Amino acid sequence: MDAGTSLGLNSGVDPTAGARRAGHSVAVMLRAYARHLHGAVEYANELISKRLTGTTRRRLRRILVRSWSVLAGQQRDPGGTR
């Protein structure tokens, strides 16, 4: 385990650049270091949330609710997701 690679990933270094520095492919690096990515999901959600405007957030929420309803079989979506 390379401490520099873990530090880079946890600091938000692009995985492609981190893999190149470590001498790995991106797939190998992420497979080997995934368990060392502390708070990655929360951080990703925070970044996405900051980028979405209020309008975009409302539209996305409607689309997701509609999609989940269709997937759950609660309603038919004859016209497709709008």
Per-residue tens of pLDDT for the chain, all 82 residues: 578 888 888 788 888 888 898 898 989 888 888 777 777 777 777 877 777 776 777 787 788 788 777 666 654 545 555 4
pLDDT at 1: 58
pLDDT at 43: 76
Q: What is the pTM of this model?
A: 0.44
Number of residues that this document lists for the chain? 82
Task: Concatenate the DSSP letters of all residues of the chain into one string.
Answer: --HHHHHHHHTT--HHHHHHHHTS-HHHHHHHHGGG-TTHHHHHHHHHHHHS-HHHHHHHHHHHHHHHHHHTTSS--TT---
Name the residue with tokens 């990515």. 37
pLDDT at 78: 53
pLDDT at 58: 77
Domain ranges of the chain: 1-51, 52-82
